Amino acid sequence: MINKFIYSFFFIIGSINLSILYFILYPIFKIFNFIFSYRKKIVSSNIKKSLLHLDNNQHIKVIKGFYKYFFNLLIEILKMGSVNKEFYHHRIKVINPEVLENYRLQNKSIILMMGHHNNWEWASQIISIVAKQDFIGIYKKLSNKFFNKLMINVRGRFGVILVEIEDSIQYILNNKNCKIIGLASDQNPVVNSKTYWTKFFNQDVPYILGAEKIARKMNYPVLFCNMTKESNGYYNIKFEVIEDSPQNSRDGEITNMFIKRLEEKIIEEPNSYLWSHNRWKHKK
């Protein structure tokens, strides 16, 4: 019963105009966050340890900006269950779709890397709509079965082929279609003796090397998805080549190029990164 209520609530709320949702729900969110301080220590610590070029007042400004961004992100994800393709065309401008088309005409599959910056969920939707080749969204299964199923349904509405991360390598090796493999590549991996460690904002972090391993094995070009916020609910996307011939790259090289580009993007728009994610919880 409770699951049906949540499902109905998700779609009813999602049917309301986005600007109205921002206006109505933001005061409620502010009160809720004032009382419960959602991950305040993690957010504050991550920002202060990462953005060393900013002073304390600027850190406080980014922290406040993050919570506004986080609220907008939640509302935008709520909208995903009720919108149509025209909504994404209106809200997101893909600046250089010809990059994807050129690879398709060469029958080359590509790997598209991005971080948890701006709205990666909307990015996968518009790319799947715009691109003529298959878009494979690699996702990490949610622990709650109901919400996992809900997000699969929402994410797959416009042709995104969803593959759970544990099954991704086998799926990609077996699927010979020309495709775009989309990954949010800044997730925490399982840490063990074989874990690859590198620096992210001058702090040791473990990284998943799955993207570059697939790229080298299959010689799939690797691109960075540069998503920029124009205003509330409006974005543009530009595709940037990280490595066109990955089979010639060394271990960790592609991953570190991605990290460097992601750092630059976060510095450019510091409010719009998922600072509540405990990215630096593991110690080397």
Beta bridge partners of 184: 114
Average pLDDT value for residue range 265-284: 94
Confidence of residue 137 (pLDDT cuts 50, 70, 90): very high
Phi, psi angle pair for 276, to nearest 5°: -75, -15
Q: Beta strands 234-243 and 92-94: pairing type?
A: parallel
Beta bridge partners of 235: 92, 229
| Side chain identity, residue 235 | Y
Phi, psi angle pair for 279, to nearest 5°: -65, -25
Predicted confidence (pLDDT) at residue 6 exceeds the cutoff of 80: no
Check if the beta carbon of residue 88 is closer than 8 Å to that of residue 125: yes
Most confident range, picked from 1-15, 87-101, 152-166, 241-255: 87-101
| pTM assigned to the model | 0.92
Predicted confidence (pLDDT) at residue 8 exceeds the cutoff of 80: no
H runs (alpha helix) in the chain: 2-14, 18-36, 40-50, 56-79, 85-91, 98-105, 120-130, 145-155, 168-174, 210-218, 253-268
Rounded Cα–Cα distance for residues 82 and 73 (Å) = 16
- Condensed to tens digits (0 to 9), the pLDDT of residues 212-255 reads 888 999 999 999 999 999 999 999 999 999 999 999 898 899 99
Rounded Cα–Cα distance for residues 50 and 263 (Å) = 9
Task: Give the number of other Cβ atoms within 10 Å of residue 10's Cβ.
Answer: 19
Check if the beta carbon of residue 227 is closer than 8 Å to that of residue 248: no
Rounded Cα–Cα distance for residues 128 and 120 (Å) = 12
Check if the beta carbon of residue 83 is closer than 8 Å to that of residue 157: no
Confidence of residue 30 (pLDDT cuts 50, 70, 90): confident
Rounded Cα–Cα distance for residues 100 and 70 (Å) = 30
Report pLDDT for 119: 97
> Can you give the C-alpha Rg of the chain in angstroms?
19
